[in-house]
Each structure stands twice: as structure tokens, then as C-alpha cells.
Amino acid sequence: MPKILRIIILTIVSLTFAASAAVCDEFTKDDLKQWNAQFMSSVKEGEKLFHSSLGRNTVSCDMCHPNAANTHPETYPKFQKQLGKVITLGDMINWCIINPLEGDKLDLDDPKMIALEAYITYERRGVKLAPGKH
């Protein structure tokens, strides 16, 4: 391929990337405020669920994990011996719903599951990611 053609192609490719990056970054302060409000409402919902009985007994998450203690969301995905494989945070939450709470597992995209994950993860904000760690 002639050198000039290569330069032209490279220029077109990089301009396309630059243009799409600029489009992706286009959001307003109002957008950010609204998205954060949506996220925080999921966190609040998760906090409520964490303090309520989600299963068939009267046990709630906070009895064993006060303020989401010892939930270590930053270590997922990781191998968990209870399930004998590499699992996500949601799978581990389901393990606790099924076992200590004697309840039915939630779908991983259930808004309640997302809220629990939002709350647990928000409580650990700022902690360094450590996937796989024990």
C-alpha cells in the first residue's frame, strides 16, 4: 500500500475514534445529578432490604453483617467453597438468601438484587478492587 494511502486511512480512523469519544462524553450536569439520584435511590432500597426479612424466617442480612460488614464486594468474582466455583457477588447474596434466610433466590437482574448489590458495594466505596482475594 502506498505510504500516502496509509497515512490517509490512519487519519480517518483516528478522527472517527476522536469523534465518537467526544460524543460519548456528552452529558450535562443535570444528567449526572439525575443518574446519581437514581443510583442513590437503589442504594437506599438495598439498605432497606438488608434490614428486612427477605426469606421465610425472621432473619435479616444485618444480623450477621451489621452495616454490610464482612461482605467484601471488592473481592468478587471469586472462588467460594460453599458453591465450589468462581461466582459473582449476586450468587453469594443468593447463597445467604437460600441458607440463613431460608428464602428463594433472586434473579441476578431482579431490582431487589441490584439494590442489595448497590448498597453493599456503596458501603465499601473507595476500597481497592481485589478480585479473587480471600
Q: Give the interface with ligand HEC as residue ranges (CB under 6 A).
A: 54, 59, 61, 63-65, 70-72, 75, 89, 92-93, 96-97, 100-101, 116, 120
Q: How far is the CB of 9 from ligand HEC (least distance, A)?
A: 49
| CB closer to ligand HEC, 3 vs 81 | 81
Contact of 98 with 105, CB cutoff 8 Å: yes
131 cis-preceded (ω within 30 degrees of 0): no
Contact of 78 with 130, CB cutoff 8 Å: no
| CB closer to ligand HEC, 97 vs 118 | 97
How far apart, in whole angstroms, are the C-alpha atoms of residue 63 and residue 103? 16
| CB closer to ligand HEC, 44 vs 65 | 65
Q: How far is the CB of 90 from ligand HEC (least distance, A)?
A: 9
**Which cell numbers in the block locate residue 37?**
439520584
